[in-house]
């Protein structure tokens, strides 16, 4: 057993540390509150596992003091870090994460609640005590603040003292001892005790061994990743290690690093950083792929790193560079590395050494059945997560695409520093939904183009039939430059699918022509490097689904959960087959190290849900369901398992309702029935709420939610916002049932999506 105060002193002294292979701090505020609530109530919070070691050959975070025995924290990092931050008022020196998770915690001495600082609620209220200030100064200084309530002052003081005594709480400790314990054995133990979270990857294990020889390895790699992130590209540490392994050993498996001297690894890391930078420059300047969202085929990079290592660090000539780009684009489009990555990488590493880039291209052709030609059907995909979205962006950058509004070539150096590109739906989404098209075809790649911000705003929700003739008259050739069919009949919404087919033909021809030029090697004209835009925005303020997903992400981020990848392709790890195109994807779970991968898939009929489930993915087909899961998960992880669930409010009996409430109840049920009959939408969740809490409470719950509901979004897609709760509460006979704020919410939501009554 060990007192918490003693443990914190040992951290200050540098004798309790964190092994370098440990994850950083990942807890959120709900978990912090839950830990403090459990400790305050005297509930069990688990023990600690420490590795007692002299420290020789072990890489740690923080500064190791002296040469004696040290204790490395294997299990309990999140709890100990939280308590250190709350009690000391700052993070420990081994900290890596977001300190806001434990900053600003308050304790209410009257109701014994823990909450984070909220000025509107807590300013001037002496009942809210700063937990960190209490730990620093003790309970007595707070006594004067309770002078207004002398009859309860002693009760408050007892509660503060109870909280303060948490410093003396004893934690059960288990220690792994023995000078013969290797890093491999310790990592294995770590994985077993952390079986409920994310285990260390093979890359983590390889780095743990390397860090024993070169203590700054991980820090150096994180610095490299940070520089690329600043330039607009996000890469993982495992990915960088994969490149370095290719350069150092020519092998795809991290085990190849086991016997590599630290100095050789350090040299290979520096070289791989240079090779990655070289290829990023080429991809950005020659293909125009200049930001993270459009950077395709990340796992082709280790193959290119291996190629550059074999070639002495640079491409031999323009021909070899362009052929490499040809191979890179095609390997990305066809998912070369989405299956058995290590096996495929090793095959390509070996080919690089035997026959260079020509061998890679021939191998890719054989893998694709002898044909790398692009066809119109290849552009059938939808959403910006499709593999062909970066190809559309690439064509826009390299093929002289022009803006519809200004007629200017879409090049950063021509448009100026204040102009950004935006994704534009050629046929407006709302118009297509009203015409009965489903989400997949509405978001087809062939319905997307890129325009300047000013032009996108000017065009707005106008239809092609309305504005394409103007573009032709003002800027001849601008439509053709963006591969727009010029037959006016195809600009009509009733001919939308014919428009898509015609544009796919044009896109496939343009892409095939450019890629053929790359394959032949060497440009026939002097190349002018493309200046990066740095980012492209997808402005969809008039899309209820997009707004709903963004509100979901904002809510999850406010809960301390991580940001997802948007419009993310999920492929089968065995064969590379695309299983889903998720609106949002959390590959490491909502919180790194805690839980399975999570996907939000709003087109379940287009996804292979059984296979995703078999692979262990948590798939949600509803924003409301995912948000509810996140809240329940946070409550459970915050230590609230002991709390009994609050009983649901029973729906009032019809006889108890006032006349207009009875009419409203009837109208709410009518909304459900009409949505089912007239819009082919079955609002099962809504019906359950009506039964559980009643019509009035259901409406208020929906209006108080941070975003529009699944039902609102589904009815918007069907052009039936008249059947939403928001439209119902604004009817004159029901307005008195709701306050000004609730009516304002309803009105603003309907205004945002251009509904102004029927």
For range 642-651, the mean pLDDT: 40
Between 326 and 26, whose confidence is greater? 326
203 vs 257: CA distance, rounded Å: 10
Residue environment code for 340-369, b if the CB has 16+ CB neighbours within 10 A, otherwise e: ebeebbbbbbbbbeeebbebbbebbeeeee
- Assess whether pLDDT exceeds 50 at residue 358: yes
What tokens were used for 470?
């103007």
CB 388 within 8 A of CB 378: yes
Return phi, psi of residue 743, to 5°: -70, -35
Measured at the CA of 28, the angle between CA 27 and CA 29, to 5 degrees, comes to 130
654 vs 663: CA distance, rounded Å: 10
Residue environment code for 138-155, b if the CB has 16+ CB neighbours within 10 A, otherwise e: ebeebeeebeeeeeebee
Return phi, psi of residue 337, to 5°: -115, 25
In the chain, the percentage of residues whose pLDDT exceeds 90 is 38
- Assess whether pLDDT exceeds 80 at residue 644: no
Between 200 and 10, whose confidence is greater? 10
What tokens were used for 703?
């209006």
297 vs 281: CA distance, rounded Å: 15
For range 318-333, the mean pLDDT: 95
Sign of the alpha-carbon dihedral angle for 409, 412, 414, 420? positive
Lowest mean pLDDT among 326-330, 588-592, 614-618, 650-654: 650-654
Mean pLDDT of the chain: 85
Nearest residue to 538 via CA among 434, 420, 622: 420
Q: In this predicted model, what pLDDT tens digit does every residue of 9-25 receive, in sequence order?
A: 989 888 888 877 777 78
CB atoms within 10 A of CB 648: 11
For residue 704, how far is the Cα from the chain centroid?
25
Order of all β-strands in the sheet with 105-108: 114-116, 105-108, 128-130
What tokens were used for 602?
């709003």
Q: What is the 3-state secondary structure (H, E, C) of 4-64?
A: HHHHHHHHHHCCEEEECCCCCCCCCHHHHHHHHHHHHHCCCCCCEEEEEECCCCCCEECCC
What tokens were used for 321?
């560079």
Q: In this predicted model, what pLDDT tens digit does every residue of 703-730 receive, in sequence order?
A: 988 778 888 888 887 888 899 999 999 9
Q: In this predicted model, what pLDDT tens digit does every residue of 466-492 receive, in sequence order?
A: 999 999 999 999 999 999 999 999 999
For range 676-701, the mean pLDDT: 87
Measured at the CA of 732, the angle between CA 727 and CA 733, to 5 degrees, comes to 105
Nearest residue to 1 via CA among 69, 52, 48: 48
């Amino acid at each position: 057993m060990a007192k918490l105060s003693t443990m914190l002193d040992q951290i200050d002294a540098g004798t309790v540390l964190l092994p370098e292979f440990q994850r950083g701090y990942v807890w959120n505020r709900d978990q912090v509150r839950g830990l403090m609530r459990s400790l305050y109530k005297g509930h069990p919070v688990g023990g600690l596992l420490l590795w007692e070691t002299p420290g020789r050959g072990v890489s740690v975070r923080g500064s190791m003091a002296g040469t004696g025995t040290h204790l490395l924290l294997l299990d309990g990092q999140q709890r100990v870090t939280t308590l250190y931050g709350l009690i000391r008022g700052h993070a420990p020196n081994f900290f890596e994460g977001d300190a806001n998770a434990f900053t600003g915690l308050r304790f209410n001495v009257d109701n014994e609640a823990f909450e984070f600082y909220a000025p509107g609620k807590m300013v001037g209220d002496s009942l809210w005590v700063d937990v960190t200030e209490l730990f620093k100064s003790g309970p007595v200084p707070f006594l004067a603040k309770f002078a207004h309530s002398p009859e309860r002052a002693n009760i408050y003081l007892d509660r503060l003292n109870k909280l303060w005594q948490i410093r003396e709480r004893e934690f059960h400790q288990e220690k792994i001892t023995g000078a013969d314990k290797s890093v491999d054995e310790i990592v294995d133990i770590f994985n077993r005790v952390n079986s409920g979270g994310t285990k260390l990857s093979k890359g983590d294990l390889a780095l743990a061994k390397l860090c024993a020889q070169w203590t700054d390895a991980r820090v150096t790699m994180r610095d490299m990743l940070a520089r690329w992130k600043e330039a607009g590209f996000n890469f993982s540490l495992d990915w960088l290690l994969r490149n370095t392994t290719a350069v150092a050993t020519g092998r795809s498996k991290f085990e190849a690093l086991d016997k590599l001297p630290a100095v050789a690894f350090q040299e290979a890391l520096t070289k791989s950083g240079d090779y990655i930078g070289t290829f990023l420059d080429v991809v950005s300047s020659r293909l125009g792929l200049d930001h993270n969202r459009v950077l395709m085929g990340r796992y082709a990079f280790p193959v290119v790193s291996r190629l550059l290592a074999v070639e002495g660090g640079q491409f031999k000539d323009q021909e070899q560079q362009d052929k490499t780009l040809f191979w890179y684009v095609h390997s990305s489009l066809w998912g070369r590395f989405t299956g058995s990555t290590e096996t495929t990488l090793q095959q390509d590493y070996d080919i690089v050494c035997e026959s260079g880039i020509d061998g890679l291209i021939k191998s890719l052709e054989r893998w694709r059945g002898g044909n790398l030609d692009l066809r119109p059907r290849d552009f059938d995909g939808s959403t910006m997560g499709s593999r062909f979205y970066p190809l559309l962006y690439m064509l826009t950058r390299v093929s002289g695409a022009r803006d519809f509004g200004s007629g200017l070539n879409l090049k950063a150096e021509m448009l100026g520093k204040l102009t950004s590109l935006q994704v534009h739906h050629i046929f407006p989404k709302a118009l297509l939904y009203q015409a009965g098209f489903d989400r997949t075809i509405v978001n087809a790649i062939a319905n997307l183009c890129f325009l300047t911000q000013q032009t996108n705003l000017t065009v707005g929700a106008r239809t092609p039939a309305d504005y394409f003739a103007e573009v032709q008259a003002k800027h001849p050739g601008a439509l053709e430059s963006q591969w727009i069919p010029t037959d006016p009949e195809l600009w009509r919404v009733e001919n939308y699918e014919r428009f898509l087919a015609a544009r796919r033909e044009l896109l496939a021809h343009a892409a095939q022509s450019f890629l053929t030029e790359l394959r032949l090697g060497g440009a026939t004209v002097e190349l002018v490097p493309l200046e990066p835009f740095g980012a492209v925005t997808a402005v969809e303020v008039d899309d209820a689904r997009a707004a709903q997903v963004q509100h979901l992400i904002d809510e999850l981020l406010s809960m301390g959960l991580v940001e997802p990848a948007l419009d993310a392709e999920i492929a089968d790890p065995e064969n590379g087959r695309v299983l889903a195109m998720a609106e949002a994807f959390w590959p490491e779970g909502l919180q790194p190290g805690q839980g399975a991968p999570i996907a939000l898939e709003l087109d379940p009929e287009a996804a292979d849900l059984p296979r995703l489930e078999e692979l262990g993915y948590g798939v949600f087909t509803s924003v409301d369901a995912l948000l509810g899961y996140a809240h329940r998960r946070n409550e459970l992880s915050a230590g609230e398992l002991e709390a009994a669930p609050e009983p649901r409010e029973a729906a009032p009996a019809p006889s108890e309702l006032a006349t207009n409430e009875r009419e409203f109840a009837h109208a709410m049920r009518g909304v459900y029935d009409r949505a089912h009959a007239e819009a082919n939408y079955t609002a099962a969740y809504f019906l359950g709420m009506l039964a559980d809490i009643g019509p009035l409470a259901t409406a208020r719950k929906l209006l108080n939610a941070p975003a529009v509901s699944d039902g609102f979004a589904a009815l918007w897609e069907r052009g039936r916002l008249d059947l939403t709760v928001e439209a119902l509460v604004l009817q004159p006979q029901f307005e008195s049932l709701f306050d000004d704020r609730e009516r304002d919410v309803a009105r603003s939501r309907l205004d945002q999506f251009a509904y102004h009554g029927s």
